[in-house]
Amino acid sequence: MEFGPHLILATLEGAVTAAVLALTAVGLSLVFGVMRVVNIAHGEFYMLGAVIAWYVAQMVGGHPALGFVAALVIAPLVVGALAAAADVTILKHIEYDPERTIVATIGLLYVIQQLTLMTYGPEARPVEAPFSGRVELPWYEWFETLFGMAQPWGWSITSYKLFVIFAAGAVLCGVWAMMARTRIGLLMRATQADRDMALAFGIPVERVYALVFGIGAGLAALGAVLIVPIQQAHYLMGVEPLLLAFIVVIIGGLGSLPGTVLAALFIGLSDGIISVFFSPTLAKILATLLVGLVLVFRPQGLFGTRTA
Amino acid sequence: MSMGGRVLGLHLGLLVVLFALQFVLPAYHQGNIARIMVLASYAVGYNILFGYTGLLSLGHALFFAAGMYGMGLTIQHAGFTPAPALIAGIVAGALVAGGLALLALRTSGVAFMIVTLMFAQAGYLTILYFGEYTRGDEGFVIQQAQRVLWGIDLIDPTARYFAAWGLFSVCFLLSLWLVQSRFGRTLIAIRENEERVRMLGYDTYAHKLGAMVASGTISAAAGAFYGLLFGYAGATFGSVQYSIFPLLWVLLGGAGTVLGPFVGTLFMFYLIDLSSGVTSAYMLIAGVALVALTLFAPQGLTGEVRRRLWKGLP
């Protein structure tokens, strides 16, 4: 097989991973940046998004696109509301103390996982993609004497995967616009910069926290809805994105959204590309070691500012 | 440092009770307590770094697995007998802990968490990668004939119980001694205010390095014994889950108390054991219990005892 087409294919597959990862990680990064909360249950919000998407798709019926669009709206809202409720009932009462938050969110992880297992069951279930045409990747090469386009089988990607990449990009632009251009974004940034000062200026910090926690979880759920037509919904699916999102958030620099997106691209693409050309396990070993070493020598991450 | 009579009495008392329990417990609980004692040793090791030095590691499974595989692989492939294999496991853990400490201690806070997590994950993947020797996820069984330590067959429940008790006693008393020593006091001071300790002229880096090696070595000893006593080594023991377990046990039992790791392990183990007898939803109960504990007993069980009843509890 040729190197060029492989590389393009690996890059596109990696871009799909990166897109979903970016959504999940930006959610985690928001929560981390604004609230200084390490949310171990973030992966479970992702999983809930996928599971709810399956339920919604089942209930709506008709053309797969209808169910998918409904899921795209409903799942993030439901998950966001759940997360906000968890914030108000639990996290607020332990005063966002770092260690206790970790334990509480691990507890939450167990509860969500078990409840999903009890209601949804252990099976992995697919959601049908709204559309899934194949897009042939053009590939040019020399044939004997003339330069022409070759389209051998296999070098194609579903249009849905391209859609995932663009959808994630659009949502991320929306998040950026919200943070940079709207009043609620301003309140969030003020809370992030100095919680006490924000309180003194009459910003309802507790409500901002609940909102941020909800939005963070909602973004994870959105990423999951986008991925279910490619990967099935399963009650244990939250573990891997949690780990990856953590890596991305740290590499990108704490609380830095551009850093997070860039790191997601880097991790997603390198994972896609390395595992095509080398053994996937070896690729993962090298990637994790690299991440560890980057942090050893640049603890503030790529875009973070050094704090004590 | 002087050790109060009450303190010594309490901690030795626990060991005596555990020793005596062997003669009254039914077989099932005897096996459970043996397992809890080995896992609690792991938590004791974790507590030295997390509870007393204030460094939150998410990579202790690396040390646990280093002990387990250092022991298991030398038995399996180098024909070691259990005693040298145990030593090999413990030495492997100490070396890995020292190496990781040299790198990870350059960072602090969240970066430290992630660096330890990353290296542990790389270790876990390495176990999978060398599946030819380690049998990866599936793991390998250590045959009964390879588990006879000084003529004592560890497959016998009583022998296993006493081996676990011996390991736990050593780790437990070692940590009690450590935290009351000058070195341990300095670690607690580092946890409370590292800047100030540094200004007083202490080499905080060397102290943290020592804490991490001690913590990793005890964790590796627990891993080595776990593999030997229960005759199995598998990649699961190197996964993230096994890094989170000791954190949970220590937090539940009370971080920064000598008794905490044991109390937490015992509590969590029996919570899951008992509730899985009643319902299949034991994770639900464990989850709710975790949330409830953080809400109502923020310092863990022993931590609450120290806060409300006995201020001097080490």
How high is the mean pLDDT of chain B? 84
Cα-Cα-Cα-Cα torsion B303, B306, B312, B314, nearest 10 degrees, comes to -20
Q: Which residue has the higher pLDDT, B110 or B57?
A: B57
CB B162 within 8 A of CB B34: no
User: Is residue A145 very low, low, confident or very high in pLDDT (cuts 50, 70, 90)?
Assistant: low
What does the pLDDT average to over B260-278? 83
Token pair of A275, please?
A: 């595992």
Per CB-CB distance under 8 Å, the chain A contacts of B122 are 285, 288-289, 292
A151 CA to chain B: closest CA distance, Å? 36
Per CB-CB distance under 8 Å, the chain B contacts of A291 are 114, 118
How many CB atoms within 10 Å of residue B218?
32
What does the pLDDT average to over B88-103? 91
Q: Enter the ipTM.
A: 0.71
User: Is residue B215 very low, low, confident or very high in pLDDT (cuts 50, 70, 90)?
Assistant: very high
pLDDT at site A153? 45
What does the pLDDT average to over B106-110? 78
Asked if B295 and A93 come within 8 Å (Cβ–Cβ), the reply is yes
Choose the mutation target among A288, A298, A306 for the interface with B, i.e. most B CBs under 10 Å. Answer: A288
Tell me: the pLDDT tens digits for A71-88?
Answer: 999 999 999 999 999 999
CB B133 within 8 A of CB B77: yes
Tell me: the pLDDT tens digits for B160-202?
Answer: 888 898 899 999 989 888 888 888 888 888 888 888 888 888 8
A111 CA to chain B: closest CA distance, Å? 5
What does the pLDDT average to over B70-76? 86
DSSP β-bridge partners for residue A158: A134
Token pair of A229, please?
A: 């037509």
Q: Enumerate residues 6+ apart whose C-beta is below 8 A from A277.
A: A6, A10
Q: Which residue of B has its CA nearest to A291?
A: B118
pLDDT at site A142? 52
pLDDT at site A304? 64
CB A257 within 8 A of CB A212: no
Burial class (CB within 10 angstroms; exposed 0-12, middle 13-18, buried 19+) of B277:
exposed
User: Is residue A10 very low, low, confident or very high in pLDDT (cuts 50, 70, 90)?
Assistant: confident
Using the predicted structure, report yes or no on whether residue A136 has a pLDDT greater than 70: no
Choose the mutation target among A296, A300, A306 for the interface with B, i.e. most B CBs under 10 Å. Answer: A296
User: Is residue B47 very low, low, confident or very high in pLDDT (cuts 50, 70, 90)?
Assistant: very high
Query: Cα–Cα distance between A96 and A86 in angstroms, integer?
Result: 12
DSSP β-bridge partners for residue A142: A147
Query: Cα–Cα distance between B188 and B180 in angstroms, integer?
Result: 10
What does the pLDDT average to over B236-261? 84
Task: Give the closest of A103, A239, A300 to B248, CB-based.
Answer: A103
